[in-house]
């Protein structure tokens, strides 16, 4: 899932400054799960902004809040149609995709990000999130025992560990497990230690042409080939 | 312009307000077991918060004579209480006693207006009759109670000994009934129902009880010195002093036998034996009472059965046989069988036979009687074979309990009303489900063990000289602590809108009791029969999909907060300090609220049911509305829940982060506990906190002046 983190109130205050009426929009999917922009965080931000306005003595904004099921699909954004009519801007607590989806759906509406979209990852435990995948587009997990060295090795090397590994920890941060030690240990359990001895050629580091698009539907020409 | 519009921060259910306002709690087992269906969970919870007047209100709404039940109820609720699966059941009866005494039940006035012309006769003034009279009067009927004895109360008067039910309690209820306009005829044994109808009564409720002592049917039972339990207790209760001699035996194993034995001790018998044909485990008598009887010197002879009585030289020679327990019968009770050749003889001055009672019906009633001489009625309408004649209580069930009799009386009043108004009896169908199912071992393991507190009682030496009531009332602290043991069965959390659940599993991870789980379809579930209603998941669910099942609990924190903020805005205290205060335990019952008064009104307390329910946005709301400081007073180690302080600190940290982002000092939020790591009391901590806020407030005013 996508993991995000709320922006500082100071930054949010600056971005919303020009707009009087602001609709804070939460996302009921990833942003909820990662605790950055679900209904609860929307309420907390709302309360924080209102407290800020009240304490500054010069507040003039009006805030509304609403959380949609998922921001990254236009159909879910229909629920916003009436609501955005009453506001000057939307502050989205969805990931960057959500922000853009709202912008696309409402062409004349200013949409501001309330969170920093951080990484793709998972919960380690309650309230702790770890990155797991870099969306590199060339997955090598089959060779690395299901542990991604691109994201979990500080250096992202393919033929680890490097000389900086020490007692299973990484020289870049001695609190952090060395991804290659983890890979070794797991390969051992899988009786595939010989995979360690292989050399993995460098990946294709050409810049990925962006934006990427995947087309999964078949190109079927209506009426074509049918007779 | 100030920000306006949506002020209600709890607006997340606005879209579907109806469901959000419904009571989704399940009926707890205690309530299901109570014949009166009392809302025990509610009044116990109110007691735990020290809201004893409200507790009494809840009690009175379900029980016509709560002070009587508070003394003698057989408390089937406690037998069903799920706390027993953890340690011991909640002492529900003793808590009711606390509520009636401290809530001032004696002072309550009941009023009734006459709105119907029909008159109803109640025959018998035991709890069933009195309850029926009470409810009929409330419904606006003219009621006359006919009682054969000189005083009202039935077994409450002539059965239950005074050391368990002080007669002032009964007299208070009787006077209340009289003031409500119930007509009372004592020394009026009814022998014919036709006569009552001739007198103009349109309906009759028969509650003649079961006063005829059963006999063992053995030789010599007629001898002088042999008396049945009900008669013996009646004589004592009506002021006669039967001469017992020195050695008394009581035959039987029920509560009447125990009462008779303990009464004999109080009348000066030197040696009192209870002869019971089964063993202690099978004794139907209440455990506490058996215990108390032992303390008072009553001796128990188990597995003994009298076979023959002979009167000789002024003594009763009782021939007994030893018993042993055979195979369990169809009902699972092991039947005693006589041990061959084990006969022996005992000698007593008096033998009290307390092996049960049966109703005694004048032939003139013309009602059909069935097994054990009990009146046969329709269980729903309580009608007998005679038109307009209803019956209930021991006369129908055989010897039972006060609370069953009260329930029968209440039911009868409703049915008689239906009958007189020519209505089809309507079933007051309960829409809520009843909680069934035991706690899982995993849940039990996580629940804090808190020993049951018994109400204080007179020491055994001080009891036996006379009939002084032996049980005393809890003090505040004991009552509050006992009430906090309630697990609030069925009032826990639910995922109100499953479609909002993001399946984040936060609830699984935060629940101190490991209650939520993922079912086979991948949906997250919170089983109602396991949830301990701590509210942690409710406050942590990032989707706000979880709510507490009772509407009041859902609104509690936000509601009280808004109320306090409104009041504070009117008085404009400077600097305003808002404190979220645990309503249970220490804070609910005193110290902090005293302190708050001394602090001169600038500290405003928001009572919360458990501080784990306070969320970060509640704290921020107080700052928005002008608070200079906010504290959360948590009950610390006293808490009946797990981990409460951890969660309080989580919320506080969250709010502190926001506070520093908006340029306010995070020290403006504080957690108070009954005794902190320096050993200072909550009051001292609050003092220090209030001073800190005062200083910060002054500094901020100075800053403002410098700026302008
Ligand atoms: C010694 C003893 C101790 C008990 N302790 C407890 C206890 O601790 N807790 C508990 O829950 N239960 C207890 N019980 C049981 C409880 O008292 C009874 O279940 C309850 O009183 C039954 O109420 P009732 O209204 O049906 O009948 P009763 O209370 O028996 O009242 C019937 C009344 O009808 C009157 N009457 C009878 N015939 C006529 C007539 N023809 N005309 C006019 N009046 C008539 C009788 O005089 C009597 O006053 C005890 C019973 C006894 C005997
Ligand atoms: S724990 Fe409380 S709610 Fe549950 S059965 Fe006992 S008294 Fe009733
Ligand atoms: S915490 Fe809320 S959103 Fe998360 S799984 Fe539980 S109910 Fe669903
Ligand atoms: S209310 Fe408490 S006990 Fe019940 S499921 Fe939520 S966290 Fe668990």
State pLDDT tens for residues A52-72. 999 888 788 999 999 999 999
Q: Cα separations (Å) of B283 from B186, B252, B303, B355, B567?
A: 36, 9, 11, 12, 58
Of B455, B458, B459, B457, the closest CA to residue B474 belongs to B455
* Angle separating helix axes B644-661 and B616-624, nearest 10 degrees: 40
If one compares B510 and B429, the residue with the highest pLDDT of the two is B510
Determine contact: A133 vs chain B, CB below 8 A: no
d(C-alpha B652, C-alpha B648), whole Å:
6
Check whether residue B475 and residue B502 sit in a common domain: no
pLDDT given for residue B682 in this prediction: 79
Check whether residue B604 and residue B675 sit in a common domain: yes
User: What is the token pair recorded at B468?
Assistant: 């002084």
- Kindly state whether residue B557 falls inside one of the protein's structural domains: no
Band of residue B677 on the pLDDT scale cut at 50, 70, 90: confident
Check whether residue B602 and residue B589 sit in a common domain: yes
- Kindly state whether residue B47 falls inside one of the protein's structural domains: yes
**Distance of alpha carbon B28 from the chain centroid:** 12
- B402 close to ligand 1 (CB < 6 Angstrom): yes
pLDDT given for residue B526 in this prediction: 97
Check whether residue B189 and residue B218 sit in a common domain: no
Instruction: Give the mean pLDDT of B437-458.
Output: 93
Residue B592 has pLDDT above 80, yes or no: no
Does this complex have an ipTM over 0.90?
yes
**CATH code: domain of residue B96:** 1.10.1060.10
pLDDT given for residue B297 in this prediction: 95
User: What is the token pair recorded at B25?
Assistant: 């709690």
Q: What percent of chain B has pLDDT over 90?
A: 75
User: What is the token pair recorded at B287?
Assistant: 């455990």
pLDDT given for residue B485 in this prediction: 94
Check whether residue B315 and residue B387 sit in a common domain: no
Contact A44 B624 (CB under 8 A): no
pLDDT given for residue B13 in this prediction: 44
- Kindly state whether residue B589 falls inside one of the protein's structural domains: yes
Check whether residue B183 and residue B300 sit in a common domain: no
**CATH code: domain of residue B148:** 3.50.50.60
Element (H, E) at A14: helix A9-16
Determine contact: A33 vs chain B, CB below 8 A: yes
Q: Cα separations (Å) of B276 from B217, B223, B322, B353?
A: 16, 21, 10, 11
Check whether residue B332 and residue B458 sit in a common domain: no
Residue B7 has pLDDT above 60, yes or no: no
Check whether residue B519 and residue B605 sit in a common domain: no
Domains along chain A with CATH numbers? 1-139 (3.40.50), 143-199 (no CATH)
pLDDT given for residue A223 in this prediction: 66
- Kindly state whether residue B145 falls inside one of the protein's structural domains: yes
Instruction: Give the mean pLDDT of B360-375.
Output: 91
Q: Return all residues near B291 (Cβ < 8 A) that are at least 6 apart.
A: none
pLDDT given for residue A226 in this prediction: 54
- B146 close to ligand 1 (CB < 6 Angstrom): yes
Check whether residue B263 and residue B313 sit in a common domain: yes
Taking only the tens place, the pLDDT of each residue in B9-46 is: 344 444 556 666 789 999 999 999 999 999 999 999 99
Chain B: nearest CA to A46, how far in angstroms? 8
- Kindly state whether residue B3 falls inside one of the protein's structural domains: no
**Domain range for B41:** 28-108+441-483
**CATH code: domain of residue B647:** 3.40.50
pLDDT given for residue B14 in this prediction: 46
Contact A35 B506 (CB under 8 A): yes
Number of domains chain B is built from:
5
pLDDT given for residue A225 in this prediction: 57
Residue B257 has pLDDT above 90, yes or no: yes
Pocket of ligand 4 (CB under 6 A): B 492-493, 507, 510-511, 513, 515-516, 526, 531-538
**CATH code: domain of residue B508:** 3.30.70.20
Q: What percent of chain B has pLDDT over 70?
A: 94
Q: Is the four-CA dihedral B57, B59, B64, B65 of positive or negative sign?
A: negative
pLDDT given for residue B368 in this prediction: 94
pTM confidence score: 0.90
pLDDT given for residue B599 in this prediction: 57
Instruction: Give the mean pLDDT of B573-579.
Output: 85
Chain B residues whose CB is inside 8 A of the A54 CB are 2-3, 623-626
Chain A: nearest CA to B649, how far in angstroms? 14
d(C-alpha A174, C-alpha A167), whole Å:
9
Chain B residues whose CB is inside 8 A of the A123 CB are 504-505, 509
Measured from the Cβ of residue A220, the count of other Cβ atoms closer than 10 Å reads: 9
| Range with the poorest average pLDDT among A136-140, B203-207, B289-293, B638-642 | B638-642
User: What is the token pair recorded at B657?
Assistant: 């982060």
Residue B588 has pLDDT above 70, yes or no: no
**Distance of alpha carbon B287 from the chain centroid:** 18
Q: Return all residues near B518 (Cβ < 8 A) that are at least 6 apart.
A: B503, B505, B508, B524, B525
Band of residue A208 on the pLDDT scale cut at 50, 70, 90: confident
Check whether residue B518 and residue B533 sit in a common domain: yes
- B90 close to ligand 2 (CB < 6 Angstrom): yes
């Amino acid at each position: 899932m996508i993991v995000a983190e709320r922006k500082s109130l100071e930054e949010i205050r600056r971005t919303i400054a020009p707009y009087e009426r602001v609709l804070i929009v939460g996302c009921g999917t990833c942003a909820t799960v990662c605790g950055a922009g679900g209904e609860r965080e929307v309420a907390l931000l709302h309360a924080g902004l209102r407290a800020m306005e009240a304490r500054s003595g010069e507040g003039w904004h009006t805030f509304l809040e609403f959380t949609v099921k998922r921001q990254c699909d236009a159909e879910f954004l229909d629920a916003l149609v009436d609501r955005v009519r009453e506001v000057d801007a939307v502050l989205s607590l969805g990931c960057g995709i959500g922000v853009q989806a709202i912008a696309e759906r409402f062409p004349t509406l200013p949409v501001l990000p309330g969170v920093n979209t951080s990484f793709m990852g998972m919960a380690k435990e309650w309230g702790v999130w770890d990155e797991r995948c870099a969306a590199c587009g060339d997955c090598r997990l089959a060779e690395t025992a299901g542990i991604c060295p691109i994201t979990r090795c500080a250096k992202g090397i393919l033929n680890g560990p490097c000389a900086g590994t020490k007692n299973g920890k990484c020289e870049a941060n001695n609190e952090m497990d060395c991804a290659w030690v983890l890979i070794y240990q797991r390969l051992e359990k899988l009786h595939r230690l010989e995979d360690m001895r292989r050399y993995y050629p460098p990946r294709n580091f050409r810049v990925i042409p962006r934006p990427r698009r995947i087309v999964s539907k078949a190109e079927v020409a209506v009426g074509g080939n049918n007779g | 312009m100030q920000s306006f519009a949506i002020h209600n921060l709890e607006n997340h259910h606005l879209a579907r307000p109806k469901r959000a306002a419904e009571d989704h709690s399940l009926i707890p087992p205690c309530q299901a077991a109570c014949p009166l269906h009392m809302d025990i969970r509610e009044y116990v919870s109110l007691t735990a918060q020290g809201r004893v007047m409200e507790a009494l209100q809840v009690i009175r709404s379900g029980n016509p004579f709560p002070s009587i039940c508070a003394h003698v109820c057989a408390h089937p609720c406690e037998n069903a209480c799920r706390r027993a699966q953890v340690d011991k059941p909640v002492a529900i009866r003793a808590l009711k006693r606390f509520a009636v005494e401290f809530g001032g039940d004696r002072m309550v006035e009941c009023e009734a207006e006459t709105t119907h012309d029909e008159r109803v006769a109640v025959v018998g003034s035991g709890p069933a009759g009195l309850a029926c009279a009470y409810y009929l009067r409330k419904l606006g009927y003219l009621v006359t109670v006919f009682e054969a004895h000189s005083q009202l109360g039935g077994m409450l008067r002539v059965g239950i000994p005074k050391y368990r039910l002080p007669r002032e309690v009964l007299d208070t209820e009787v006077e209340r009934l009289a003031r409500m306009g119930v007509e009372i005829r004592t020394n009026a044994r009814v022998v014919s129902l036709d006569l009552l109808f001739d007198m103009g009564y349109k309906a009759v409720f028969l509650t003649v009880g079961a006063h005829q002592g059963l006999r063992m049917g053995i030789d010599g039972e007629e001898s002088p010195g042999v008396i049945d339990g009900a008669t013996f207790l009646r004589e004592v209760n009506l002021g006669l002093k039967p001469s017992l001699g020195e050695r008394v035996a009581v035959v039987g194993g029920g509560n009447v036998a125990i009462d008779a034995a303990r009464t004999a001790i109080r009348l000066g018998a030197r040696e009192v034996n209870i002869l019971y044909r089964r063993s202690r485990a099978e004794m139907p008598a209440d455990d506490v009472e058996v215990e108390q009887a032992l303390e008072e010197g009553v001796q128990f002879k188990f597995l003994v059965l009298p076979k023959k009585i002979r009167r000789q030289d002024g003594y009763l020679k009782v021939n007994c046989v030893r018993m042993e327990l055979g195979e369990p019968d169809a009902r699972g009770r092991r039947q005693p069988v006589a041990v061959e050749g084990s006969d022996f003889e005992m000698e007593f001055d008096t033998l009290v036979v307390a092996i049960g009672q049966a109703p005694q019906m004048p032939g003139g009633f013309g009602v059909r009687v069935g097994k054990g001489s009990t009146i046969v009625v329709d269980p729903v309408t309580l009608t007998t074979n005679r038109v307009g004649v209803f019956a209930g209580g021991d006369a129908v069930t055989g010897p039972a309990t006060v609370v069953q009799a009260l329930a029968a009386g209440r039911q009868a009043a409703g049915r008689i009303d239906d009958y007189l108004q020519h209505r089809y009896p309507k079933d007051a169908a309960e829409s809520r489900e009843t909680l069934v199912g035991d706690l899982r071992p995993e849940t039990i393991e996580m629940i804090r063990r808190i020993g049951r507190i018994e109400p204080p009682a007179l020491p055994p030496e001080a009891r036996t000289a006379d009939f002084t009531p032996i049980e005393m009332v809890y003090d505040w602290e004991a009552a509050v602590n006992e009430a906090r043991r309630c697990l609030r069965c069925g009032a826990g959390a639910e995922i109100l809108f499953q479609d909002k659940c993001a399946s984040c599993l936060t609830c699984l991870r935060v629940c101190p009791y490991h209650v939520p789980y993922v079912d086979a379809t991948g949906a997250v579930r919170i089983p109602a029969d396991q949830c301990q209603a701590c509210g942690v998941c409710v406050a942590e669910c990032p989707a706000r999909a979880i709510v507490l099942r009772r509407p009041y609990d859902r609104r509690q924190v936000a509601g009280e907060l808004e109320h306090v903020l409104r009041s504070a805005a009117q008085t404009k205290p400077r600097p305003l300090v808002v404190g979220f205060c645990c309503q249970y335990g220490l804070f609910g019952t005193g110290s902090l609220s005293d302190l708050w008064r001394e602090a001169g009104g600038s500290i405003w307390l928001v009572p919360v049911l458990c501080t784990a329910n306070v969320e970060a946005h509640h704290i921020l709301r107080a700052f928005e509305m002008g608070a200079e400081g906010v504290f959360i007073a948590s009950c610390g180690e006293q808490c009946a829940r797990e981990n409460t302080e951890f969660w309080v600190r989580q919320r506080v940290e969250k709010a502190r982060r926001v506070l520093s982002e908006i340029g306010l000092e995070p020290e403006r939020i504080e957690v108070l506990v009954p005794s902190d790591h320096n050993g200072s009391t909550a009051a001292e901590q609050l003092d220090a906190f209030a001073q800190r806020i005062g200083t910060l407030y002054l500094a901020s005013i100075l800053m403002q002046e410098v700026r302008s």
